[in-house]
Amino acid sequence: MKRIVVFASGSGSNAENIIKFFKHSKTAKVTNVLCNNAHAKVFERCKKLETKCLHFNKNDFSGSDTVLNILKNEADFIILAGFLWRIPQKIVTAFPNKIINIHPALLPKYGGKGMYGIHVHKAVKENNEDETGITIHYVNENYDEGAVIFQAKTELNSQDTPETIAEKIHLLEQHHFPKVIEEVILAIHE
How does pLDDT run across 111-147, given as a tens digit for each residue?
998 999 999 999 999 999 999 999 999 999 888 999 9
Strands 53-55 and 77-80: unpaired
The CATH architecture of the domain made up of 2-188 is 3-Layer(aba) Sandwich (3.40)
- The phi and psi torsions of 187 (rounded to 5 degrees) equal -65, -40
- 3-class SS letters over 26-84: CCEEEEEEEECCCCCCHHHHHHHCCCCEEECCHHHHHHCCHHHHHHHHHCCEEEECCCC
Percentage of the residues of the chain whose pLDDT score is greater than 70: 99
Query: Residue range 59-86: average pLDDT?
Result: 96
Instruction: Please state the φ and ψ torsions of residue 109, each to the nearest 5 degrees.
Output: -70, 140
The 10 Å Cβ neighbour count of residue 81 is 26
Active-site residues, by number, are 103
User: Taking 80 as the threshold, does the pLDDT of residue 92 lie above it?
Assistant: yes
For residue 189, is pLDDT > 80?
no
pLDDT at 190 over 60: no
Boundaries of every domain in the chain: 2-188
Cis peptide before 96 (omega within 30 of 0): no
